Structures are given as C-alpha cells and as structure tokens.
Amino acid sequence: MSTTTKSPKESFTIMNELVLPNDTNPLNNLMGGRLLHWMDIAAAISAQKHCNNIVVTASVDNVSFKHPIKLGDVITIEAMVTRAFHTSMEVRLQVYAENIPSGTRVRSNEAYYTFVALDANGKTLRAPEIKPESEEEYRLYDGALHRRQLRLILAGKMKAHDATELKAIFLNQEGI
C-alpha cells in the first residue's frame, strides 16, 4: 500500500468520557453541546491519524439524540474516516452510553463530520485516499459520496441536478 492510500482502520479512534455533574442539564442528562464537543475531538483525532496533519471541522451532519445519556454514564465515541475526497475527509462517529453498575450499554448517536487538513500556513492539503477492506468499510465508502453530494446541495455549493449519485438512487427507487 502506498503512502497516499490508507485503510479506514488506521484512523480508528476510541474516546471515553465519564459524564459528571458539570456535563449535565437540570434533568441529569448529558448536555447535547458537550457531547458534540467530545464528538468533534474524537473525529478530529481520527482525521489527523488519517492525514498526519492538523485538521479543521468543515461540516457536521444531522445529529439525532436517540437515547439520553445520564449522569454517571461512561460514553464511548468510536470514530473512523470512511472516505477521503480531494482535500476533505468524512469521519463516521458512533456514540455508546454505558451504565457500568447495571451493565447496560446503548447506542446513543451516530453522525458524520467532515474535516479538511491544513498546512502551517492554513492552506488545504490533499488527503490520502481510503482503501476499504471489509464489507462494512465498502458500504460506508460508497455511501460517503451520496452524503457528500447531499451536504454540498444543502450548503448551496452544488445544484441538485448535478448530484448524479443522488439522482441515480431516487430514479432507481421509483423504477424510472
């Protein structure tokens, strides 16, 4: 494998945090903003591992809070680069909440963050390509192009009629 190609597992990052009183709202649930902060850190570490450079957050996809995370829970954030485009990298995050005394563990969140690598002068750098190895890595890699086109449309950087990958999905599902 060349130095410009990496496997997703080379960027895999696990981050753990204990939910303390200062992290919670009046209902003793983890504040959403605190979780987003921790997710951003985990995703940045993953992106840095992938490109061996400083990275900045370019975008954050929709984050839904499926299960509340309680005071005293331990959260585990798993992050991995799913695909690299010219200068941007998509990072998938999965968040789990664990109550150690009760032995329960639930998946609380999933999200995709996009990062860009920068040099010392703040100029964007080319990101190493991703070479998926497992079936799951291929699934995430292929889906990344669809997610990227949707992000670009929502940001006003791409016209919907130019999103060929997304159009193909919708046209195929409708039998057209």
Segment 97-107 shows an average pLDDT of: 97
Q: Which range among 16-30, 53-67, 105-119 shows the weakest confidence by mean pLDDT? A: 53-67
User: Is residue 155 very low, low, confident or very high in pLDDT (cuts 50, 70, 90)?
Assistant: low
pLDDT 10s digits, 64-81 = 888 999 999 999 999 999
Domains and CATH numbers, the chain: 5-131 (3.10.129.10)
Q: CB–CB of 91/115 below 8 Å?
A: yes
pTM: 0.86
- Over 50: is that where the pLDDT of 26 sits? yes
Q: CB–CB of 111/46 below 8 Å?
A: no
